[in-house]
Amino acid sequence: MINSLKNITKKKLAGLILILVIIIAFGFGGFGGGFSTGNQNNIVKIGNKNITTQDFMDYLNQSGLSQEVIKSNIDKNIIEELLSGLVSTTLLNLEIKDFNIEISNDALKENIKKDKNFLDENGIFQRTIYEKFLLLNNLTAPMYELNLRNKALQKHLFEYIGSGTVSPKFLVDKVFLEENREVEIEFLDLNYIYKKPDEFKLNEIKDFLNTNQDQMRQDYIDFSYIVITPKKLIGIDEFNENFFKEIDDIENKISNNIDFKLILNEIDIEPIYVSSYTLSENQKSDKDKIFLSRKNKIDILENEGSYIFYNITNVTSKLPDLNNQESKKQIVNLLYQKNKFDFNKKILEEISTKKFDNSSFIKIGKNYIQKNVLKSIKDNEKFEQNSLEIIYSLPKNSFTLITDTSENIYVAKIVNFKDVPMELDKKDTNKFINKQNSKYRKSFLRTYDLLLNEKYEVTINQKTLDRVKNYFQ
């Protein structure tokens, strides 16, 4: 009903109508045993009405939130949020009183009897089901009925102030046309235009590498290792107790700084020697796992169906070796990505400065320009939703960059619009009208919010609010 108190000044609360779901909870175990501020210590004043700290602590007791939950969320403004709920409830009660809105006991009883939670399989109200509900929720009938009465009164208030609030037809028609028009576009998949990885010459790759030396340096390691399996270690293909005892023995020797070669001599498995190794592209090989674990000079790693026991003898940092095809491939991929980024940036700058026109589009597009007709702003079968919203916001003959659901990038031109009039007998049309009416009612409530701020002067005692927060810290 009201905005959070996150952004309130020390004097005024703003936005007192925007939270439409009010926390009116049922009995829980209490807070406040250690909070001895007394009823006369006011935390909020609404007109001539004071909300004391005791009022607020009672409200917290009813919130259904434990003290631990409040403590863990104290830095997320949970106290301010809860205080907003109490102020909201108080304002509504004042408005209900002002409008003389009432609900009879008979109407209240009828609402309870119609509640599906209290009906049997035949749709008949059962007192026993109702009483069981109260018992399970630690409620008395008066407590529950008071809560229900408050909700009903608030519902009547909103119906009273917002009855007949619908979006004007001209506005509904306007928005419908804007969002449901058919938009003809031409688009160019820039993957056809980008320079391909195999098109970069060696001198371009070298220049890129030299320009970005600090970022391009890679670690290279010299190491030896063995792959340990049950067959190699104990002579049988079984992960049994003896095998794991041997593995534990190796781990203990590593912990005791026993030399790698001495451990190998006892295992009697011939090691593999590797020089100047750097991480591969797939990062899945045994060598890659050793590289990723290189902070430990000697270690044993659990691998799928085996163990890797390694010893790193040297680590050097240097520029990638372009004679190494794997390293070269990685550098070329980085160059390719940078080239794409620069190309996209250039087009965006030209579009924003009106330098990109139809001749530019045709020039770069050549035979790759495609056409499509979008049926509505929700026609996201190919293009991503945010891109569609951009397209529908632009005038005819505009250009923009858009993406598809696979994050490919396109240059798009808005070619033409075709308005599609609203057909009132369609189910989707009714849903759209209801949606627009809902938006309009929310706008109306925001206006009502401002009026409430003028009608009731709401002020807080910041010192008292801080003391309450400190209690939970």
What tens digit of pLDDT does each residue of 192-238 get? Answer: 999 999 999 999 999 999 999 888 888 999 999 999 999 999 999 88
In one letter, which amino acid is 167? S
The pLDDT, as a whole number, for residue 452 is 67
The span from the CA of 451 to the CA of 95, in Å, is: 12
Question: Amino acid identity, residue 18?
Answer: L
Percent of the chain at pLDDT exceeding 90: 34
Q: Which residues pair with 354 in a beta bridge?
A: none
pLDDT score, position 218: 86
pLDDT value at position 453? Answer: 62
* Long-range CB pairs of 167-172, under 8 A, 24+ apart, other chains included: 167/433, 167/436, 167/437, 167/439, 167/440, 171/436, 171/440, 172/422, 172/432, 172/433, 172/436
Which residue pairs, CB below 8 angstroms and at least 24 apart, start in 275-284?
275/222, 276/220, 276/221, 276/222, 276/316, 276/321, 277/220, 277/221, 277/222, 277/223, 278/218, 278/219, 278/220, 278/221, 278/320, 278/326, 278/327, 279/218, 280/326, 281/326, 281/329, 281/330
- The confidence score (pLDDT) of residue 173 equals 57
For residues 188 and 404, what is the distance between their CA atoms, to the nearest angstrom? 12
pLDDT score, position 371? 93
Whole-number Å distance between alpha carbons of 118 and 131: 9
For 276-310, write each residue's pLDDT tens digit.
Answer: 898 887 788 999 999 999 888 999 998 888 999 99
Q: Rounded distance, CA 90 to CA 56, Å?
A: 11
Q: Is the pLDDT of residue 33 over 60?
A: no
Alpha helix positions (H), 5-126: 53-61, 67-72, 78-98, 105-114
Amino acid code (one letter) for 117: N
- What's the mean per-residue pLDDT of the chain? 80
Cross-strand partners of 277: 221
pLDDT at 79 over 60: yes
Element (H, E) at 391: helix 385-393
Cα(201)–Cα(197) distance, integer angstroms: 9
Going by C-beta distance under 8 Å and a sequence separation of 6 or more, which residues neighbour residue 231? 237
Distance, CA of 45 to CA of 158 (rounded, Å) = 24
Q: Are 465 and 83 in contact (CB under 8 A)?
A: yes
Which SS3 state, helix, strand or coil, does residue 182 take?
A: strand
Confidence of residue 165 (pLDDT cuts 50, 70, 90): very low
Instruction: Calculate mean pLDDT across residues 239-268.
Output: 92
Please state the rounded mean pLDDT for residues 388-397.
91
Q: Which of 114, 109, 136, 134 is nearest to 125 (CA)?
A: 114
Confidence of residue 150 (pLDDT cuts 50, 70, 90): confident
Measured CA to CA in angstroms, residue 54 lies from 38, 44, 370, 391 at distances of: 6, 11, 69, 55
Confidence (pLDDT) at 438:
60
The burial of 55, by beta-carbon neighbours within 10 Å (0-12 exposed, 13-18 middle, 19 or more buried), is given as: middle
Indicate the residue type of 93.
Answer: N
Retrieve residue 283's tokens.
């990062």
> Of the ranges 44-58, 64-78, 420-434, which is most confident?
44-58
Sole residue written with tokens 């163990």: 307
- Tell me: pLDDT of 319 over 50: yes
Give the three-state DSSP class for 370: strand
Reply yes or no on whether the pLDDT at 388 is more than 60: yes
Region for residue 371 given its phi and psi (left: phi exceeds 0; alpha: psi -120 to 50; beta: otherwise): beta
| Percent of the chain as helix, strand, coil, to the nearest 5 | 50, 15, 30
pLDDT of res. 442: 59
Residue 177: CB atoms within 10 Å: 14
User: Which residue type is seen at 247?
Assistant: I
Q: Which residues face 404 on adjacent strands?
A: 383
pLDDT value at residue 142: 78
Dihedral through CA 144, CA 150, CA 153, CA 157, nearest 10? -150
Are 24 and 150 within 8 A, CB to CB? Answer: yes
Q: DSSP of 399-449, one letter per residue? A: EEEEEBTT--EEEEEEEEEE-----TTSHHHHHHHHHHHHHHHHHHHHHHH
Q: Which two tokens stand for residue 209?
A: 């590498």
- Give the whole-number percent of the chain exceeding pLDDT 70: 79
Q: What is the mean pLDDT of residues 414-426?
A: 73
pTM passes above 0.85: no
Look at residue 174 in the predicted model and tell me its pLDDT: 56
Residue whose C-alpha is closest to residue 143's, from 28, 55, 50: 28
Strand, coil or helix: what is 118?
helix
